[in-house]
Amino acid sequence: MKILVLGGTAFFGRRLVRLLLGDGHDVTIATRGQTPDDFGDAVTRIKVTGRIRMP
């Protein structure tokens, strides 16, 4: 299954990504690119920019 994880390099996200990869899923992480990860070519990365502002 293809799965998108928002914030895949933070504490909970890293663990979730490892579990999903271990189960054989195709994982994409959306991240600001500020925190390095050790997933190598096992994931696809989408770098997100900008800020969400609450009205």
Instruction: Assess whether pLDDT exceeds 80 at residue 54.
Output: no
pLDDT digits (tens, 9 = 90+) for 6-51: 988 888 899 999 999 999 999 999 998 888 899 999 999 999 887 7
DSSP 8-52: TTSHHHHHHHHHHHHTT-EEEEEE-S-S--S-GGGSEEEE--S--
